[in-house]
Amino acid sequence: MRSEIAAELNLCIQKDAAQPIPVQLTAEIRELVAKGKLAPGDPIPSTRALSTQLGVARGTIVAAYEQLQGEGYLISERGSGTRINPHLRPVQPTPPPSKKPKAHKSLMPLSPGAPDTSALVDPTWRAAWREAAAQTRALPTAGAYELREEISHHLRHMRGLVAEPERIIIASGAREGLMVLLHALGPQLEVGVESPGYPSLRKIPGLLGHRLQEVSTDEHGIRTDQLGHMDALIVTPSHQYPTGGSLPAQRRTALAEWACRRNTLLIEDDYDSELRYAGQPLPALAALAPNNTALLGTFSTLISPSIACGYIVMPPDLVEAGLRVRELLSQPAGTITQIALARYMASGALRRRTQRLRRLYAKRRDIVTEELSGLAHATLRPIHGGLHAVVLCERDAHEVVRACAAQGLGVTALSEHWGGSGVSDNGVVIGFGAHSDEDLRRALRILAGELRKTPA
């Protein structure tokens, strides 16, 4: 213990200085105590250890220690070595902490999209990671083939999309996947984004130097009658974020025809599309226009965001360009993570988990409906899928957000999902996936109490 501290004392001793070495040592140690780098009760190196470290005679160290003991800085006890006096008061008083605004301790953040991970770690999950940990091998540029194969099976069964493993590239998530796609597509693009839309995704094109075009949405999703010229368009046709709309078949067809006619790349964010509470998941847009659509998928809502692993289904003509980008950026997920996910999916565990989660989240969706429907000054939008809900309100949404925060509840203003100035709806967005039924009810009653208040 004392030798480790000796290595960290960082004493600056000059053997050719005018001051004797014992004087330098005592001054250095006093300074370390004054600055709090040595605290009362800290053990310090033995005289022998410190003389070896500094390359000076042991008697020199003894002289310095004796001086410091006489001043009350050090005490020496048989069996416990030399320490800074435990009763020593700091020479330099600690400055009072700066006054900061009092932060509200969050009772719970109702974060949109946050899943329930409480029952994730089961024997199948542990076995998958154990088996994966026994393998060490280099991964192909696109990612582990067995994982891409399982993703291909998953998309065929769950999304009605036939995507060969060769068209799938592993990414760390939707944002990183979008960066790969835009790099593969080229520089200085015109990129369309839904307004409102997913905040973090819509920031990526601008970060890469591309121009954004805001495209309006309504209760059904993106408005296909407002599409202009663009090189790529980011859409959420299965479950528009945050409004929750599902793009009708007629608009899907119109969107696919427009993309083929204009040679525009549709970038389909497949966010929480498997979690529908009415009917089966809608077919992926990529099934309608496979040559003009790239699909971004993740395991965030079905497994956990901490997995940090997702995938891109590339259009055939962009596969090679995507692989060149992936090779340059390297694999974002390690061998163990990719193989463990492949094992977990191959066992059928992900499909079983999806079914359990649908039942669990459907129950929590019903709790949201029960607690927030019929409020005098607020309207809950229909929740057909996903892990979030939108509540339109008459009271200023930012005022509601602040009032909830004062009671330890985190909700988000709907206006934060617009990129431009065309905000038309006043409301809040909440997530209902991550908390127990009891905690969710408690949080929703706080929110309902604020929404019931008469607008100013």
Longest dimension (CA), the chain: 92
Q: Which amino acid is at 197?
A: G
Residues of the chain with CATH 3.40.640.10: 123-349
More confident site: 108 or 26: 26
Q: Distance between CA 412 and CA 289 in Å, rounded?
A: 35
DSSP for residue 421: S
Residues of the chain with CATH 1.10.10.10: 2-84
Provide the pLDDT confidence category of residue 124 given band limits of 50, 70 and 90.
very high
Rg (CA), the chain: 30
Whole-Å CA distances, 265 to 229, 255, 342: 11, 11, 29
CB 170 within 8 A of CB 309: yes
Residue recorded with tokens 């006619």: 261
Q: Distance between CA 136 and CA 132 in Å, rounded?
A: 8
Q: Distance between CA 231 and CA 87 in Å, rounded?
A: 71
Q: Distance between CA 85 and CA 72 in Å, rounded?
A: 7
Provide the pLDDT confidence category of residue 3 given band limits of 50, 70 and 90.
very low
Task: Please tell me whether the peptide bond between 45 and the residue prior to it is cis, using omega within 30 degrees of 0.
Answer: no
Residue 313 pLDDT: 97
The number of helices, as runs of H, and strands, as runs of E, in the chain is 14, 16
User: The tokens of 397 are what?
Assistant: 């949404």
Half-sphere exposure of 9 (CA within 13 A, CB side): 28
Residues of the chain with CATH 3.90.1150.10: 108-115+352-451
Question: Tens digits of per-residue pLDDT, 64-121?
Answer: 888 888 777 888 877 668 888 888 765 454 455 555 444 445 457 888 888 888 888 8
DSSP for residue 183: H
Q: Where are the beta strands (DSSP E) in 173-292?
A: 190-195, 211-218, 221-222, 232-235, 265-269
Question: Tens digits of per-residue pLDDT, 10-22?
Answer: 777 888 777 888 8
User: The tokens of 211 are what?
Assistant: 């121009």
Mean of pLDDT values over 358-374 = 94
CATH 1.10.10.60 is the classification of domain 2-84: no
What is the topology classification, in CATH, of domain 123-349? Aspartate Aminotransferase; domain 2 (3.40.640)
Question: Tens digits of per-residue pLDDT, 150-196?
Answer: 999 999 988 888 999 999 999 999 999 999 999 999 999 999 999 88
Given the candidates 3.30.300.180, 3.90.1150.10, 3.40.50.1580, 3.90.550.10, the CATH classification of the domain at 108-115+352-451 is 3.90.1150.10
Q: Distance between CA 342 and CA 296 in Å, rounded?
A: 18
Question: How large a percentage of the chain has pLDDT more than 90?
Answer: 48
Collapse the DSSP code of 349 into the 3-class scheme (helix H, G, I; strand E, B; otherwise coil) and give the result: helix
Which H helix or E strand runs over 342?
Answer: helix 335-346
Query: Taking the complete model, does pTM exceed 0.85, yes or no?
Result: no
